[in-house]
Structure formats: structure tokens, C-alpha cells
Amino acid sequence: MIFDYTIVMFVFSLACFLYWYFLKNKMRTIDDKERLYKLQSSATIFLFLFIFVFSVSCVRSFYIEIYKIPSSSMRPKLKPGDFVLVKKSEYGFRNPLTGHRVFGDKKPKHGDVAVFRHPGDKNIVYIKRIIGLPEDRIIISDGQVYLNGKSISIFKDRVIESESINDFSYDINFDASDNGSTFYIIPENKYFVMGDNRGNSSDSRDWGYLSEDLLLGKAFYLAFNISENGISFKGERIDTPSGKGLVDVIGDLYVDIDDQITSKNELTSSNEELSVEEVPIVIDDEVIDIQNINPQDLIPD
């Protein structure tokens, strides 16, 4: 079982309910009007605390929660001190204590910014971008990422500035020191995640694949930032190319109660950007066919 504040909130709300029930029964034996009034006031307070804390804990556990970005691994989009809203129901409703899915069959998609528990320490929460889904084939060669035979890197002035997967693009901080080539075939129920700040991110390149049962939700809205300069409101979607405002977020949350949200944004590219296309992958003067790679030849982690 993983400890977090969810347990504390549920226990506190249960204690408030039990004490309210105790006061309610005690009032039946009180004849003194002044004392009865004091007990009624106390009972009302504890009933309100129960309803409030229980409601907040349910929303936080099953639907939406706010997280603070602690590091620069997701620059340039997300910076230290940013607070993002995370939709806990995006990948199905899960038991908040065990992490096991209760119901719902929605799966992560390429490009999602996912929040999850670290495979090595489940008390640590990470946020990274999902690059590879189960059965995907990935090659990372000199910092350039190839997904199922296609380069997802977008160049500007011969430098990788962003990536595009399935008509969804996002900026990255390219790591010019990333030399060499690595191969991956993503196993079933596993995901390959990377930080957008490629030179300053601990991710699947270091500790391996992410198990599906460690997913907590999908980050979808950048709310505000708290830094030495104070609080600055952001109000920007992080799961669409152009971003949307708060009204759109509330509307999407309402729609998502009954149906799955489908993004209506289309990718726009500048004339200076190179289009994503299938390119041959050459490593050590040998052309690699990613579709027919022997899994035995791959680096497992």
C-alpha cells in the first residue's frame, strides 16, 4: 500500500462523521437548552467538515488533482514552480490506495504528459511525456527519435527544436551531447517516457519502461507558477498544440464525465520546419529496417 494524503483525508472525514453521529445521539439526552445549542453548533461544524473533506478527497482521488513541477526536466513547456491540473480518470478509475484500475479502459496516447509513480520508489511522483506505447519500436540515434520507422524530430536551422507525433507537436530542449544509438521494443502493458528537457531528465532511458499500473493521470492544464517573483497565472492547455483557456477546460471536464474527449486542434507548421517523413536509419554504415529488427539485438532497458 502506498501512503499519501488520501488516506489521511479519508480517516479525518470518517472521524468527523463518527463524532457528529456521537453528538447527534447525545443531544437526545440533553434537556438544558443552552448546552443543547452548543452541541448543535458543534455537530453542525463536524458535519460540514465531513462533507467538505470527504468531497475533496473523492475528487482528488478519482477525478482531478493539482501537482507542482519540482524540476526542469519538462522544459521548455513546464518549469519549476508550475502547478498543473491532472485528470486522474483519463486512464481509468483506480483504487487510490493500491493503484489498480477499478473500471475504465482508456489508454495513454503518444505525446500525453503523464503523471506516475516512479518504478524504483512508488512514493515519488514523476511527470514525463509518453513517447512509446506497447509494441512500438523506438530508435534514439544522436538525440533524434524514430518511432516505428519514422523520425518524429522537427528541425529548425539544422537543430532539433520540436517533435511531432500523430499531428501533435511539442517543443523540446535538444541535447547536443547525446551521441550513440539505442534500440527499444516496448513490451505489453509498458510505456516509454521521456522528459522534454532531454539533457536533464531521468526517464525510460535510465530506469527502463513504465508499467501501466503506476500511472496516476494525464496533465492537461497549466494553472499558475509560484516563484521568487510571486504568483503568475498561466491559464494554458498543455495537451493541445495551440492551448485553450479556462472556459474550454471546464467544458472538456464536463463532457468527459460521459464521453471521451477528442482533440479538435490541427497541427500547424512554419515554412522553416521540415516535415516528418520516413527516413532510412544508418548506424555504423548499416541501414536499419526498424520493422524487422530482431528483439534479441535490442538493448532491453
Q: Is 128 a catalytic residue?
A: yes
Active-site annotation holder among 13, 57, 61, 73? 73
Residue of 132, 115, 110, 123 whose CA lies nearest to 78 = 115
267's grid cell: 497541427
For cell 538525440, what's the residue? Answer: 143
Residue of 125, 67, 100, 87 whose CA lies nearest to 1 = 100
Is 155 buried (19+), middle (13-18) or exposed (0-12) by CB count in 10 A?
A: middle
Beta strands in the chain (DSSP E): 64-68, 82-87, 93-94, 101-103, 113-117, 125-132, 137-141, 144-147, 150-151, 153-156, 159-165, 168-171, 181-185, 190-194, 210-211, 215-227, 230-237, 281-283, 286-288
Q: Is 122 a catalytic residue?
A: no
Active-site annotation holder among 128, 190, 218, 244? 128
Residues serving a catalytic function are 73, 128
